[in-house]
Amino acid sequence: MRLILTLVCLLLFAGTAPSRADLQLQPKMEATCRPASPASYTILRWKPRETCTTDCFVSRLTCTNGKSFELVSRVHPATTEFQMAFWSWMPWSLLLYLLPFLIIVGVAIIGSEAAVPLLIVNACAISYATVAAWSLYASVTGNPRDEWVLQALFLNPYAFGIFLLLFLIVNAVPIWRLLDGLFYRHPPATIISPVIWAGYPHHAASMHAELMPNIFEFVDPRESSSYYHRETDRLRAFKDKLDAETAFAQAYLRRERTRNHLNDGL
Higher pLDDT, 15 or 25: 25
Domain assignment of residue 119, yes or no:
yes
- Residues 6, 116: one domain? yes
- pLDDT value of position 189: 46
Q: Do 164 and 95 sit in the same domain of this protein?
A: yes
Q: Which of 141, 171, 190 is the last residue of a domain?
A: 190
Q: Is residue 181 part of a domain?
A: yes
Domain that holds residue 2: 1-17+82-190
* 171 vs 206: which has the higher pLDDT: 171
Give 143-157 pLDDT, tens digit per residue. 777 666 677 777 777
Query: Cβ contacts of residue 17 below 8 Å, gap of 6+?
Result: 157
With 60 as the cut, is the pLDDT of residue 3 above it? no
Residue 260 covered by a domain: no
Question: Average pLDDT over the chain, rounded to whole?
Answer: 75
Q: Are residues 54 and 167 in the same domain?
A: no
Residue 127 lies in a domain: yes
pLDDT tens-place string over residues 173-195: 888 888 877 776 554 444 444 44
Would 244 be classed as within a structural domain? no
Q: 108 with 8, same domain?
A: yes
> Domain check: are 11 and 129 in the same one?
yes
DSSP string, 212-259: S--HHHHH-GGGSHHHHHHHHHHHHHHHHHHHHHHHHHHHHHHHHHHH
Which has more confidence, 241 or 264?
A: 241
Rounded Cα distance between 76 and 137, Å, is 11
What is the model's pLDDT at position 23? 80
**What does the pLDDT look like over 201-236, one tens digit per residue?**
555 555 555 555 555 555 555 555 666 677 788 888
Q: Are residues 29 and 89 both part of a single domain?
A: no
Rounded CA-CA distance 169/117 in Å is 14
**Residue 220: inside a domain:** no
Asked whether residue 153 falls in the same domain as residue 112, the answer is: yes
pLDDT band (50, 70, 90) for residue 266: low
**pLDDT at residue 199 above 70?**
no
Is the domain of 5 the same as that of 116?
yes
pLDDT confidence of residue 220: 55
Q: Are residues 185 and 147 in the same domain?
A: yes
User: Could you say which of 149, 173, 190 is where a domain stops?
Assistant: 190
CA atoms of 22 and 213, how far apart (whole Å) = 42
Q: Which helix (H) or strand (E) holds 201?
A: helix 201-211
In terms of DSSP bridges, do strands 57-63 and 68-73 run parallel, antiparallel, or are they unpaired? Answer: antiparallel
Could you give the percent of the chain with pLDDT greater than 70? Answer: 73
Residues 49, 32 within the same domain: yes
Q: Does 56 share its domain with 125?
A: no
Find all residues with CB under 8 Å of 108, minimum gap 6, and list them: 118, 122, 170, 171, 174, 175, 178
Contact 109, 119 (CB under 8 A): yes
Q: What is the pLDDT of residue 1?
A: 41
pLDDT of 18-74, one tens digit each?
A: 444 478 788 888 888 888 888 888 888 888 877 787 888 888 888 888 888 888 888
Give 14's pLDDT tier (boundaries 50, 70, 90): very low
Q: How much is the pLDDT for 81?
A: 81
pLDDT tier at 167, thresholds 50, 70, 90: very high
Residue 120 clears pLDDT 70, i.e. is over it: yes
Residues 152 and 117 in one domain: yes
Long-range contacts of 167-171 (CB under 8 A, 24+ apart): 167/101, 167/104, 167/125, 168/5, 168/8, 168/104, 170/108, 170/118, 170/121, 170/122, 170/125, 171/104, 171/105, 171/107, 171/108, 171/118, 171/122
Q: Which residue, 130, 158, 190, sits at the end of a domain? A: 190
